[in-house]
Chain A
Amino acid sequence: MNIKFNGESRQVRDYITIAELLEELTLDPRRVAVEVNLELAPRDRHGETTLNEGDQLEVVTLVGGG
């Protein structure tokens, strides 16, 4: 199925969870926060939150800033 990942289209397998997606992308779950369709997806539920066709994901991390 197709999702939007940080503004870009991305193919992922059906029913993938957020935790599985982060693992596939080798992202350290401690260092990112995830939003699905503008709502925060709490870290402790990443393992059970499955994604749906057309979901808009924002996966953010910390960078330098003032």
Chain B
Amino acid sequence: MATDAPTGSREAAGTEDTFWLGKHVFRNRLIVGTGKYETFDQMREALDVSGTECITVAVRRERLYDGDGKNILDFIDLERYTLLPNTAGCYNAKDAVRTARLGREILRGLENPGADWVKLEVLGDSKTLLPDPMATLEATEQLVAEGFQVLCYTNDDPVTALRLKRAGATAVMPAGSPIGSGQGVLNPNNIRICLEYLKGDDPDYPVIIDAGVGTASDITFAMELGVDAILLNTGIAHARDPVKMARAMNAACEAGRLAYQAGRIPKRLYATASSPEDGVISSRPW
């Protein structure tokens, strides 16, 4: 399913670093949104070079008198991508559950493997687009009971994250910073605690940074913290050159993942020389 570039380079690095998300397995660790591109062709090209195998879509009313009549599905290779329908724009649990059911129904019609899951987004405030944790928990319980694999967009609060996991969420997806804000990961310590609490006795439990990515280094930084994957949209779609930025995000994700696996050196206040201390021909000033 993956493009040649990331797969090839991972093989060159001597690992097949797959990633389980519920019942799905991916090699690439980017989940990329399909919104806000200038054209569907631009979206298709950006998705291609991002290396992603999993893309998010939204569920909206059919507009009968749409200008050009183009449908996003004409630009998405359903054999290549697993679709992840979201409940974006829902401000209560009931509407989020309805939206999840509708999304599943469409994906079943398309025979896409994404029919068994949902990116749950229940918002609490239209200015910050921050989640409503109580309503998110309520919707999670309902959707899990209905057999959905629920990927929960949430804030970076470790207690909420733990509650969502205990409610049966397939993955917890804390926001790095508000949706579309491009501020990166604002509170890495909270993400570290989320990782510790969620993965402590369950190291394969997926934790995904969802929202806030502004540029490639934000992804690398998040991946170095040890999250399993990154979900982003605006950081690519609204870059000056979305296709080039998609490539950058792909490379950044792989770099961050490899660095996390390789294990960074601890930070020290003082220097440690890289060249031998012995045999230096110069004398020290003091």
Choice from A25, A29, A43, A60 contacting B61 with Cβ under 8 Å: A60
Residues of B within 8 A of A33 (CB): 59, 101-103, 105-106, 109
0/1 per residue, A27-66, Cβ < 8 Å to B? Answer: 1011111110010101100000000000000111111111
Question: Considering only CB atoms and an 8 Å cut-off, how many residues of chain B contact the other chain?
Answer: 37
**By CB atoms of chain A within 10 A, which of B61, B85, B232 has the most?**
B61
Tell me the complex Cα distance, A25–B64, Å: 8
Query: With contacts A30-B110, A66-B88, A66-B179 known, is A61 near B105, CB below 8 A?
Result: no
Contacting pair A62 B73 (CB below 8 A) = yes
CB contact list, B75-89 vs A, under 8 A: 83, 85-86, 88
Contacting pair B57 A60 (CB below 8 A) = no
Choice from A31, A40, A66 contacting B86 with Cβ under 8 Å: A66
Question: Considering only CB atoms and an 8 Å cut-off, how many residues of chain A contact the other chain?
Answer: 24
Query: With contacts A31-B73, A32-B62, A35-B102 known, is A63 near B109, CB below 8 A?
Result: no
* A9 CB–B CB distance under 8 Å: no
Tell me the complex Cα distance, A64–B33, Å: 7
Q: How far, in Å, is B114 (CB) from chain A's closest CB?
A: 10
Contacting pair A62 B57 (CB below 8 A) = yes
Interface of B, helix, strand, loop or mixed by DSSP: mixed
Minimum CB distance partner of A29 in chain B: B109
Residues of B within 8 A of A61 (CB): 59-60, 62, 71, 106
**Which of B35-43, B154-162, B189-197, B266-274 lies at the interface?**
B35-43
Contacting pair B64 A64 (CB below 8 A) = no
CB contact list, B23-40 vs A, under 8 A: 33-37
Tell me the complex Cα distance, A38–B86, Å: 18
Query: With contacts A6-B61, A40-B101, A60-B60 known, is A66 near B234, CB below 8 A?
Result: yes
0/1 per residue, B34-76, Cβ < 8 Å to A? Answer: 1111000001000000000000111111101000000111000
* B136 CB–A CB distance under 8 Å: no
Contacting pair B106 A65 (CB below 8 A) = no
Q: How far, in Å, is A62 (CB) from chain B's closest CB?
A: 4
Q: How far, in Å, is B115 (CB) from chain A's closest CB?
A: 11
Residues of A within 8 A of B88 (CB): 65-66
Q: Which A residues are within 8 Å of any B CB, using their own CB?
A: 6-7, 25, 27, 29-35, 38, 40, 42-43, 58-66
Top-9 shortest CB links A-B? A65-B58, A66-B33, A66-B233, A33-B105, A64-B35, A64-B34, A33-B102, A6-B61, A30-B109
Q: Offer 16 A-B interface pairs, CB within 8 angstroms, sorted by A.
A: A31-B73, A43-B109, A59-B62, A60-B60, A61-B59, A62-B57, A62-B83, A62-B103, A63-B59, A64-B33, A64-B43, A65-B58, A65-B233, A66-B58, A66-B231, A66-B234
